[in-house]
A and B are shown apart, each in its own frame.
Chain A
Amino acid sequence: MAGTPGELGAAGGRRGDGVGGSAPGGSGAPGVGAPGTDGTSSGSGGRDGAVADPQPAAPVVEGEPGGHPQRTQQPLLFASGLDVVYEPAGAPVVHAVRGVDLSIDPGEMVGLVGESGCGKSTLGYALTRLLRPPARITAGRVVFDGRDVTALDQGRLRTMRHRGFAVVLQSGMNALNPVRTIDGHFADVLRTHRRVRGAAARQVAEELLGHVELAPTVLDRFPHELSGGMRQRVVIALALALQPKLVVFDEPTTALDVLVQRAVMDTIARLQAEVGFSALVISHDLGLVLGTADRAWVMYAGRIVERRESAALAGAPLHPYSAALLACHGDPTADNVQLGGIPGSPPDLSVPPQGCSFAPRCWMKEPVCRNDPPERVIGTGTVACHLAPRKLVVPRALEATVLASTAGGMGVGQNSTDGTATYDGRAALSAGPGPGASDGPALSPGAAAAPDGAAWAVRRRRSLERVEPEALVLQDVVKQFRTARRTGGRAGGRADGAWPGVGRARSSTVRAVDGVSLSLEPGHAVGLVGASGSGKTTLGRMMAGMDRPSSGTIRLGGLRVETMRSRDLPRYWQRVQMVFQDPYAGLNPVHTVGYAIGRALRNHQRLRDDRLRSELHRLLEVVGLTPSGQFSAKLPHQLSGGQRQRVVIARALAAKPQVLVADEPVSMLDVSLRAGILRLLDELRRDTGVSLLYITHDLLSARLVTDHLLVLQKGRVVESGPTASVLRSPSHSYTKQLIEAIPVVA
């Protein structure tokens, strides 16, 4: 399952973009009249809706849309004027894809990037005709290999799917039948569509598994015996079994662990180069796409707003949205790390757009943006922005810099400032206050540098009148889980004197957390990083008093979690609160925001009536949900993900806690909203002196909001120290692996 790190570098610059000619917009309309290079394309007659003119209709004056201005090849797939709508019963019609033109050449890899709800998956489904009601293609056409896919009936479409294109879905690894071996999955496909069976089929299957770096023995295993990454590789191998010309990968690695993610992406890139199929990689992760694809399309509100060669996009984005997405990535090991954020949230696609759909969130909009932006050709790419080739300066939400005096644990300074960062040079400009927090008023910019004892003493007074802040101290904390496993009474059972054939219950224990000691000082922020299964969430839950350690002590002043009775735990929760990972599951759908926060205020602070109401409004304002009166009456489903997470944070603050345990608080949010939440957490720590345990797999955010870092592997702390030092000079191999797994942008 080891990846092939050497191949990834090759993938990026593997293919030069323009196949011939260098003049932008040159070579006229190359596709027209050019005979198909192979017999199958466009020569198959008009019966299947073959299209004579593969050139998309040009809606714009300047140059051709649909990607390459200079193409000499016949595209493998192209779409023109594609419109997709969702028409659910009893709900407004959502226009998910609007007039998209695109083309994919044989053997090229294209990335499609955008935040949730931008229509990227819908587009991917539309291209492969996988859309199901209530979604429907209302206009435009999709031509694959010379045939209009939108006009095919189900029978022809089926053949087309088998021989033409394959799809690998995010949940694809759960698509394997749990009661059949991997061999069975391959045998089905090969027998039905390639008429290969028996030993020959097995040989083909072994070969396919070899492509995805899996051993032949995997064939005899059941899906549940494989890890998530291995299953996803099996699915990829299955997709390749019929030698497709185009493979659509829809979020192929999103459900996987960080380390596995990288390895699977490497495999995809290598395979694509070797086998030579065309690939469309759909992802919300710009870093991932830029690291592997030749070209990248950025999608926003149902339109492709920018299409460029990956390297060009990474170097100098043309659309403000691409620039903002790019600003959410960074190298956590750099001297100066910044994180950009976009205020507001994506538009409601059931309302027809007025002019540029990004304008409401754009920090450089001008009156001209009220008109629909044309798609302009710039260099070898296109961009749909009125202001196009203009230097883009993204407002910055969070920043961390290494100070000159790197002494001890406190040498890392963190600044949360309103400012701007440019793309070229990465020098911080002071161009006035940008919109920092994602949806709300900016709090007072924390101007504190390194947190030292004296500074904290001052801040403490503001919020913690009740109890003197104390450190949360963990000593040799162990958490064991017992898994009852029934072992078959075959050979071993007989030897033990047990009855043959009768299973014996043998419990095996798993140490999720294995002897962790740490001390979270008041006002400090400690990061807990590690891959999934490293025990970081279990540790966080124990620190939040939701689980009891199997052994060891967790102490906060006089309170000892491991010996507390359940009914005394609320006393602990007055001082330690948790911010949950999933803002969609963390709020009860039937209760208003006011109820959720109000109950916590009532229970923990014993507030009633007017005082409760005023404190509720104060909290909502602290987390940036204004006007607070309006928000307190809202139900969770009326809020965006970012707003929900702010409510979750406000509820945690209602207890006036000394410690906040935040378990991946931004991993479920879109990248553009992450900066706002991280900034809020950072400011809370600075303004109220609450200490923060930040659990994450994302090293960049850890760098931005923590000053101390613990790296967890298999339940043990393998490395710890000041965040910047750990990231910049990691000593443990596991830490190095985690750092290497970050997609490199630019």
Chain B
Amino acid sequence: MWRTGRKLVGTLWADRKARAGASILALFVLVAVLAPVLSPYSPTATSFARSAPASWSHPLGTTGSGQDALSQLLFGTRVSLLVGFGAGLAATSLAMLVGVVAGYVRGPLEVVLGFLTNLFLVIPGVPLMIVLAAYLPSRGVGTVLVVVSVTGWAWGARVLRAQTTTLASREFVAAARMAGEGTWRIVWHEIVPNMVSLLAASFFAASTAAVLAEAALEFLGLGNPATISWGTMLFWAENSNALLTGQWALLVAPGLCIALLASAMSLVNFGIDAIGNPKLRER
């Protein structure tokens, strides 16, 4: 597992697109970690002039309630990355569990899991997210994370299930059975290590979707408006008619960041595609 992981990173770095994506991603992580150092002010401080245009002291201006937009943007990275990676991880784990089990076992469980996967695939994601977010009692980053995970695992499960089915029919799985290995051991030590690139691709795809979904939910006001995130920045900017007052930076800056982060993850995924499909590597 460790060895394939290392090889994965090596091949990834050899790919130009993946390298660009990973670099941008690393930059975002750095910003998120160093947000308190980089931010000129506290993101929640409301002591500045309201809706001030861009100036040397406030490069992106201030919000309608008198907060420094740049500080908010820098701190907002934390939420986006947290929800992105957190929901990506949760959705991929769920997808792996459901997909691999559904792909390997035979009988009623396979049918039930297959039905569940298909059910979540056909339910339109955004409306479900809105309904869930609206009805869940507490609002906050945690809620958004749960909602995004629950709506985002089904596609990955479908893909992993198909891959598991093919791998399970390979001779080395039959050989492992004959070598006396138990079902659990076969699944985790024979099948799953052969899906590392698929899992990674699934993770980045889910993370990308999560970043976008998180922004969307908060923009719609379904998150906690008190959180500092790119989504809430957009929410407040919209509420205070930022465009009409000429404060386009309040909308463009978080929007660009969301797009850039999602693109970076997609770029990394291009590299992972090349691992799974060696034909793409030749180009």
Q: Is this pair of chains taken from one and the same complex?
A: yes
For B170, what are the chain A residues with a Cβ–Cβ distance below 8 Å? 585
Whether A651 lies near B175 (C-beta < 8 A) is yes
| B50 on interface, CB distance cutoff 8 Å | no
Whether B171 lies near A573 (C-beta < 8 A) is no
For B281, what are the chain A residues with a Cβ–Cβ distance below 8 Å? 88-90
**Which residues of chain B (128-176) have a CB below 8 Å from chain A?**
170-172, 174-176
- A603's contact among B3, B180, B193, by CB below 8 Å, is which? B180
B13 smallest CB distance to A (angstroms): 11
**Which residues of chain A (537-583) have a CB below 8 Å from chain B?**
544-546, 569-570, 573-574, 577-578, 580-582
| B190 on interface, CB distance cutoff 8 Å | yes
Chain B residues with a Cβ closer than 8 Å to the other chain, count: 22
Whether B172 lies near A90 (C-beta < 8 A) is no
User: Assuming A89-B281, A90-B281, is B175 touching A603 (CB within 8 A)?
Assistant: no
For A133, what are the chain B residues with a Cβ–Cβ distance below 8 Å? 282
| B39 on interface, CB distance cutoff 8 Å | no
Whether B178 lies near A544 (C-beta < 8 A) is yes
Whether B3 lies near A590 (C-beta < 8 A) is yes
Size range of the interface on A?
A: 35 or more
Whether B171 lies near A590 (C-beta < 8 A) is no
| B34 on interface, CB distance cutoff 8 Å | no
Closest-by-CB residue of B relative to A583 is B171
Bound Cα distance from A635 to B193, whole angstroms: 14
| B119 on interface, CB distance cutoff 8 Å | no
User: Assuming A88-B282, A590-B3, is B180 touching A600 (CB within 8 A)?
Assistant: yes
B237 smallest CB distance to A (angstroms): 45
- A599's contact among B3, B4, B181, by CB below 8 Å, is which? B181
Bound Cα distance from A600 to B170, whole angstroms: 18
Bound Cα distance from A652 to B178, whole angstroms: 8
For B176, what are the chain A residues with a Cβ–Cβ distance below 8 Å? 588, 599
Whether B190 lies near A654 (C-beta < 8 A) is no
Closest-by-CB residue of A relative to B178 is A573
Whether B193 lies near A654 (C-beta < 8 A) is no
| A586 on interface, CB distance cutoff 8 Å | yes
Bound Cα distance from A578 to B177, whole angstroms: 11
| B123 on interface, CB distance cutoff 8 Å | no
| A613 on interface, CB distance cutoff 8 Å | no
For B282, what are the chain A residues with a Cβ–Cβ distance below 8 Å? 88-89, 133-134
- A587's contact among B4, B172, B177, B181, by CB below 8 Å, is which? B172
User: Assuming A89-B282, A585-B172, is B178 touching A577 (CB within 8 A)?
Assistant: yes
Whether A586 lies near B172 (C-beta < 8 A) is yes
Bound Cα distance from A588 to B281, whole angstroms: 23
A633 smallest CB distance to B (angstroms): 11
| A162 on interface, CB distance cutoff 8 Å | no
| B226 on interface, CB distance cutoff 8 Å | no
Closest-by-CB residue of A relative to B185 is A599
Whether B193 lies near A590 (C-beta < 8 A) is yes
- B180's contact among A544, A573, A587, A591, by CB below 8 Å, is which? A573
| A714 on interface, CB distance cutoff 8 Å | no
| A648 on interface, CB distance cutoff 8 Å | yes
| B97 on interface, CB distance cutoff 8 Å | no
B136 smallest CB distance to A (angstroms): 41
For A578, what are the chain B residues with a Cβ–Cβ distance below 8 Å? 174-175, 178
For A581, what are the chain B residues with a Cβ–Cβ distance below 8 Å? 171
Closest-by-CB residue of B relative to A571 is B180
Whether B171 lies near A582 (C-beta < 8 A) is yes
Whether A604 lies near B179 (C-beta < 8 A) is yes
| A589 on interface, CB distance cutoff 8 Å | yes
Closest-by-CB residue of B relative to A585 is B171
Bound Cα distance from A144 to B126, whole angstroms: 62
For B177, what are the chain A residues with a Cβ–Cβ distance below 8 Å? 546, 569, 573
Bound Cα distance from A573 to B181, whole angstroms: 11
Whether B194 lies near A588 (C-beta < 8 A) is yes
Interface-central residue, B1, B178, B189, B282, by most chain A CB under 10 Å:
B178
Bound Cα distance from A194 to B193, whole angstroms: 54
Bound Cα distance from A89 to B14, whole angstroms: 10
For B189, what are the chain A residues with a Cβ–Cβ distance below 8 Å? 591
Bound Cα distance from A89 to B179, whole angstroms: 38
Whether A570 lies near B180 (C-beta < 8 A) is yes
Bound Cα distance from A205 to B170, whole angstroms: 41
Bound Cα distance from A437 to B38, whole angstroms: 69
- A590's contact among B174, B175, B194, B283, by CB below 8 Å, is which? B194
For B193, what are the chain A residues with a Cβ–Cβ distance below 8 Å? 588, 590-591
Closest-by-CB residue of B relative to A581 is B171
Whether B190 lies near A588 (C-beta < 8 A) is yes
Bound Cα distance from A652 to B172, whole angstroms: 12
For A591, what are the chain B residues with a Cβ–Cβ distance below 8 Å? 189-190, 193
For B181, what are the chain A residues with a Cβ–Cβ distance below 8 Å? 599, 603
Bound Cα distance from A474 to B86, whole angstroms: 57
B209 smallest CB distance to A (angstroms): 28
**Which residues of chain A (593-632) have a CB below 8 Å from chain B?**
596, 599-600, 603-604
Closest-by-CB residue of A relative to B196 is A590
User: Assuming A89-B282, A580-B171, is B194 touching A589 (CB within 8 A)?
Assistant: yes
Bound Cα distance from A635 to B181, whole angstroms: 20
Closest-by-CB residue of B relative to A134 is B282
A635 smallest CB distance to B (angstroms): 8
A597 smallest CB distance to B (angstroms): 9
User: Assuming A546-B174, A585-B170, is B179 touching A600 (CB within 8 A)?
Assistant: yes
For A569, what are the chain B residues with a Cβ–Cβ distance below 8 Å? 177
**Which residues of chain B (170-223) have a CB below 8 Å from chain A?**
170-172, 174-181, 189-190, 193-194
For A648, what are the chain B residues with a Cβ–Cβ distance below 8 Å? 175
For A596, what are the chain B residues with a Cβ–Cβ distance below 8 Å? 175, 179
Whether A546 lies near B178 (C-beta < 8 A) is yes
User: Assuming A599-B179, A654-B179, is B174 touching A580 (CB within 8 A)?
Assistant: yes
For A589, what are the chain B residues with a Cβ–Cβ distance below 8 Å? 194
Bound Cα distance from A569 to B181, whole angstroms: 11
Whether A586 lies near B175 (C-beta < 8 A) is yes
For A545, what are the chain B residues with a Cβ–Cβ distance below 8 Å? 178
For A652, what are the chain B residues with a Cβ–Cβ distance below 8 Å? 178
Whether A604 lies near B1 (C-beta < 8 A) is no
Interface-central residue, B177, B180, B181, B281, by most chain A CB under 10 Å:
B180
Whether A590 lies near B1 (C-beta < 8 A) is yes
Bound Cα distance from A654 to B181, whole angstroms: 13
Bound Cα distance from A419 to B154, whole angstroms: 64
Whether B175 lies near A580 (C-beta < 8 A) is yes
- Chain B 1-22 per-residue mask, 1 if CB under 8 angstroms from chain A, else 0: 1011000000000100000000
A731 smallest CB distance to B (angstroms): 36
For B172, what are the chain A residues with a Cβ–Cβ distance below 8 Å? 585-588
B168 smallest CB distance to A (angstroms): 12
Bound Cα distance from A134 to B282, whole angstroms: 7
Bound Cα distance from A89 to B3, whole angstroms: 21
A601 smallest CB distance to B (angstroms): 9
For B1, what are the chain A residues with a Cβ–Cβ distance below 8 Å? 590
For B14, what are the chain A residues with a Cβ–Cβ distance below 8 Å? 89-90
For A546, what are the chain B residues with a Cβ–Cβ distance below 8 Å? 174, 177-178
Q: List 19 A-B contacts (CB under 8 A).
A: A89-B281, A544-B178, A546-B174, A574-B180, A578-B178, A580-B174, A585-B170, A586-B171, A586-B175, A587-B175, A588-B193, A588-B194, A590-B3, A590-B4, A596-B175, A599-B179, A599-B181, A604-B180, A654-B179
Interfacial residues, chain B to chain A (CB-CB below 8 A):
1, 3-4, 14, 170-172, 174-181, 189-190, 193-194, 281-283
Given contacts A570-B180, A586-B171, A599-B181, 20 further A-B contacts (CB under 8 A): A134-B282, A546-B174, A546-B178, A573-B178, A573-B180, A577-B178, A588-B172, A588-B176, A590-B1, A590-B194, A591-B190, A596-B175, A600-B180, A603-B179, A603-B180, A603-B181, A651-B179, A652-B178, A655-B179, A655-B180
For the complex of A and B, 5 pairs with smallest distance between CB atoms: A603-B180, A600-B179, A585-B171, A588-B172, A590-B193
